Structure 1
Amino acid sequence: MKTRSLDSAVTAVVRAARPYATAVTVALAHGDQADVRCFGRVGRGPGAAPCTPETVFELGSVSKTFTALLLAEMAARGELSLDDPVEHRLPHRWRAAKVRSTEPIRLLHLATHTSGLPGLPPGLLAKAVPAWFSNPYETFGDEQLRDGLARTTVRGTPGSRYGYSNYGVGLLGRALAETGGLPYGDLLTERVCRPLGLRSTTCAPDPPGRAIGYRRGHALPPWRIPGLPGAGAVRADGADLLRYLRAHLDGGLSAVRDGERPAVPNGGPSTAPGGGLSAMPGGGLGAALRDVQRLRLRLPHSTDRIGLVWMHRRSGGRDLYFHSGGTRGFTAFVGFSPEGSAAVAAVANTAPALDGRFVQAGYEALREASRTA
């Protein structure tokens, strides 16, 4: 992985994190090679430790891809169906807090942003304002989510229109936790992280080895999102992100070889860095890694498509799957190309820039890695 063009793409990612980031990690998979490149230190000041492949970053909305994989894993086990109405998967004590909708909101709608739910639950913004630039979700917990459901009216018919919703995927995470009988973070560890060998990936707000998040140079406390963890609570280090993406590469290659990539409807344990592609995980997780890549719909006014949470684009004759995320103190991009045997994860300990330059640089690195495979 010594190509000059890919090295330049990594340099562009690091440059895009300036001037506020102190730590940047770029994890790369390219054919049968892999590398985790780390830059800077986990915080400001002379005593800050160097950034390493074990430095943990907040992932923000990249968490949604973990929720999608958990959904697909539970579906593959037969514990639920993507067509299940979400209200059937929520706590019984919440049944009176029913969303106003002409048709049921199904789990598939939540995982494809076609539920008709607004971006945020009713009641969240009012609570978020005092901590808008630090921890806006911190006081929005389980009971607030239940109360918000009772105040929600769906926009249009579920399944008819795309509209990105933190609320929707957060609600999906809550439904999965109820079905699995464990808190979201514990269920994710049991069903996804442990089988894939992800040792640092967690929803705990203050894990060992974490980088400090910054917004315009000001240090921030750990991100907390208790009511909607499936939408943005996951954090991981570069080594885990590499393992996670390479597991998806295996799943995508298996789908292509088996002819499982479906037509798109109209409308609306992996190896350590440096090793070869891993064997597919067994059981429901192996099937789930394929299922999250099945394209479900085309986005309006775009050639982009969506699987389960993952965005999809064709570029240079290759399939690219990708997602970005951010908290108040971190920015993240992840993506992979099964045909190109390529994957990129880029994370930095600074808030997302308005122009999206870090995410765009991560995407360009993915394109470059897929072209040079």
Structure 2
Amino acid sequence: MSGPSTPWPGDPHDEEDFRADGCAAAGAEEEVHQRLTAAVEAADAPDAVFALSRHGRRTLHRGGTAPPPPVPREHLRYELGSASKTFTGLLLAQLIRCGPLTGGEPATVCLDPARRAEASPVTLAHLLTHTSGLPALPPDFHLRALPARHTAPYARYPAARVIDAFLRRRPRHRPGTRWRYSNFGVAVLGHAVAAATGTAWEDLLTDQVLRPLALSGTAPRATGPDVDAVGHGKDGRTPVPAFDAGGFQAAGALRATPHDLLTFLEAHLDPSGTSLPGALRSVRTPVLRRGPGHRHVHTMAWFRHPADGGPMYFHCGATLGQQAFLGFRPGTGTALAAVCTRRFRAADPFVTAAYELLAED
């Protein structure tokens, strides 16, 4: 089941302006409609929303295998999982730009000022760019999460335990020498930034990112069924509880509406029109290369792939019952926010459809 594809409510280009471009514009709009329809159907999820912005004109398609919820799908907040890291990256970039931090602070000293910095400390920048040498998760995470692995595994690992696990770590590699994707590292970053500034991560994010970008539909925790989308397991039918990030807030706690996600991405397309121009430009700048031939490029917050018409920036995220894909291409003026209420664990039609949609635009 799928719903209509329509220009976004409040689009600055009204119907009269659109028709003034004639048949070519109508053909382009129909092509977008067909591609979004195909992407929603490929997602094969109870609820799916694909929202595309091209040069400021927004088009949305929503649908799903389940009956439409009481609240229109495009007005619900969806769990972003690891795509939350793009917000955390922008937060750190803004804190560096406005002065409280440099990114070079040793995380151990931030969390425990009585400690002396190591000879090769793990810095805030290392934590954000996955070069800290930390594993994906703390060594004892799975043992503690096992009893709630299908309901709330992260909730069993609160902030105090994340911090303690980091302070007790035994590094296998010198920080800054290897890339390894780490939820653990970005979680520690959130706590270290909060300790260094004396302000809770949620408050920092709200004050430095959400409020300046007018993202009123983005929040770090669930509110209720009238606001938050309900996730489902890999069968696409079994509902799962709302995601509780425990001590991993900075790595994956955020929820947002498709409207807010496009606003967030459009700010990256045109930083000059926002209140955070320096930070938004910073998170687009490549900071490391890895893999064979150094083909894999990363910024402070995004994966960056080459494409015709200029590079594309993207990040995926998943919780126990939802998935998200965020991406933008400055060279084509395109942004894509895609969300769905199903968790795929093998071949992933949702991410494939979203990536191809952005890459082909």
Shared fold per TM-score greater than 0.5: yes
* 1:281-320 to 2 correspondences below 5 Å: 281=275, 285-301=276-292, 303-320=295-312
Alignment of 1:63-102 (within 5 A): 63-92=84-113, 95=115
What secondary structure is seen at the aligned counterpart in 1 of 2:305? Answer: strand
Contact 1:199/1:240 (8 A) holds in 2: yes
Offset at residue 4 of structure 1 (A): 4.4
Deviates more, 1:67-76 or 1:27-36: 27-36
Kept in 1, the 8 Å contact 2:53–2:262? The answer is: yes
Alignment correspondent of 2:17: none
Q: Deviations over 1:165-195 (max 9, x none)?
A: 0011111111122233332222211111111
Counterparts of 1:1-373 in structure 2, within 5 Å, are: 2-18=28-44, 21-40=45-64, 48-92=69-113, 95=115, 103-207=120-224, 208-215=226-233, 216=235, 217-251=237-271, 279-281=273-275, 285-301=276-292, 303-369=295-361
Say which SS state the counterpart of residue 10 (structure 1) adopts.
helix
Q: Give the number of the structure whose alpha-carbon radius of gyration is greater.
A: 2
Unaligned runs of 5+ in 2: 1-24
Q: Distance in 2 between matches of 1:9 and 1:127?
A: 43
- Contact 1:13–1:358 (8 Å) recurs in 2: yes
Task: Give, as a single letter, the amino acid of the residue that structure 1 aligns with 2:326.
Answer: V
Superposed displacement of residue 102, structure 1: 6.0
TM-score, with length taken from structure 2: 0.86
Alignment check: 8 A CA contact 1:9 1:361 kept: no
Deviation at 1:40, TM superposition (A): 4.1
What is the number of residues matched between the two proteins?
A: 331
Q: 2:309, 2:332 within 8 Å by CA — same for their partners in 1?
A: no
The alpha-carbon deviation at position 308 of structure 1 amounts to 0.5
Contact 2:314 2:328 in 1 (8 A): yes
CA distance, structure 1, for counterparts of residue 288 and residue 59 of structure 2 = 33
Alpha-carbon shift at residue 307 of structure 1 (Å) = 0.4
1:280 counterpart letter in structure 2: T
AA aligned to 2:274 is M
CA shift at 1:27, angstroms? 1.5
Query: Does the 8 Å contact 1:162/1:299 carry over to 2?
Result: yes
The CA distance in 2 between the partners of 1:58 and 1:300, in whole Å, is 30
Normalising by the residue count of structure 1, what TM-score does the alignment of the two structures yield? 0.83
Equivalent residue number for residue 11 of structure 2:
none
For the residue of structure 1 that corresponds to 2:306, the secondary structure is strand
Distance 2:146 2:119 in 1: 32
Identity %: 37
Change beyond 3 A, Cα 1:69–1:227 = same
SS of corresponding position for 1:220: coil
The 3-state SS of whatever aligns with 1:138 is helix
